[in-house]
Structure 1
């Protein structure tokens, strides 16, 4: 009996020693009211196959199953899929951002800079692996999108593309719906979903939502706040990416701030293919240089060469839209 007890004890100790641990270190800002890390484990082989979310506190070591995770905190998202191998421990770090001295006002908004590729790629990544947006968000409280509880109304979770696999059953549908659903149905990498999103120069984004029976509803998302409006003496903590500070005063201009570094935006960093092919084909431009709207290998709905990822002279791929 004693030997059996020792055996069970050794098995427990071995299991504890080999457990996977995920930890996010940082300090939440005063107006970051939800204050929880959200982690979702998703399959690397099958789109849309994800577990229920895991929530835990900052600076808490959380035992998790091995696998590939998307992580978020206060509407900021880690820019890459985090892989945790059996027995491995991973620690990620939030970046603390203070209000730039040039931003003056009693109320200040901090939001994701959706004019940048690093933030755009987060849209592609979450929608590709999860088939939906990462957070529950609503705009009723602040006019921009911020986290909302499970008991409150949500703005973004309705955007799905369940109609796309059945599009041919709807008969004659819009050419735009065919194009968007072709991208959705054939995507093998996150970047293949770039036609779903038209990112504006003001950090809003228009989502080309395909609904039953094959209609396209361009739906405007307000800015993505990473905190409730705060004062100039406060700070926010976010995952690496690009953000903007804007005072709620007439005529105020936003100021961009980058958090963290080392996250490439070139083609090789735009997500691995489910079929192992992570190459981009350079194709001949068709009316690209005369078209008012075009797409490159990094972004769709380009209207100016100065937009990040849109320069036609540097693009490997350029197509008129």
Structure 2
């Protein structure tokens, strides 16, 4: 409920960004409890996966290790002969076949408990060791500025570098929806310029004048800065300079919702936006929390030594290996 806690939650979510914000909080809390109880050796989990997924990777859960409960989607099949009529969809029973000419779609109808284990709770076949980003203070990851700038232009916005901060009313950056332009100060270090561009890109993606966030400027600024923080954390950027307003100053503005509900919804919006941007960037990033060799559908695919070596060499060429 404080700005510092919010930042910690986002930094954690950046390492497990393919899972919902609520599930990342569940993993964070349960792993922290396991660490305090001496059941896992490290305060931060590295890779998490389900019981059978670890088996597919040649590893097994160590006897006595308790999994971390998360929520998995519960889906059902629906069919209709008139897809544009929302009221015409009917739920198919188990093993029921659709009628001739019907369209079938799956929908989420609820959630069910599922369990994941951190790699430290398993043993077996060794996982490939992939390089991780490490940067000196003020540096920007190779290719990140160009990647963010390309996405800004793909959204139909021009990118303007401004040398006079007074043109931005003292801000580091500004998004002008009417002029379809993103402006960034040019008199900052590389890391600050990248952070600002990521912040403005979040505005472009999330806060057009017709969006709900335009009615709650405080939440809009929190979302933009939070997306920038997650993008930075995924690249190993020092996030100590990222400023998030105190939670009570923005989470109480939405009528009909508790601050907790606003925080949960905001966190999920931020995670989705940041993950979508990170997916488009051709940069070396921390893993999204899945073990190497496991694709997003939860299927195992063997990484040959040649592929692993090539990937490591390619990423290593883009990373600064000096310590902070």
Q: TM-score range by the shorter chain?
A: under 0.3
Q: Which has the higher contact order (CA 8 A, sep 6+)?
A: 2
* TM score, norm. by length of structure 2: 0.19
* TM score, norm. by length of structure 1: 0.19
Give the structure with the larger helix fraction.
2
Give the structure with the larger strand fraction.
1
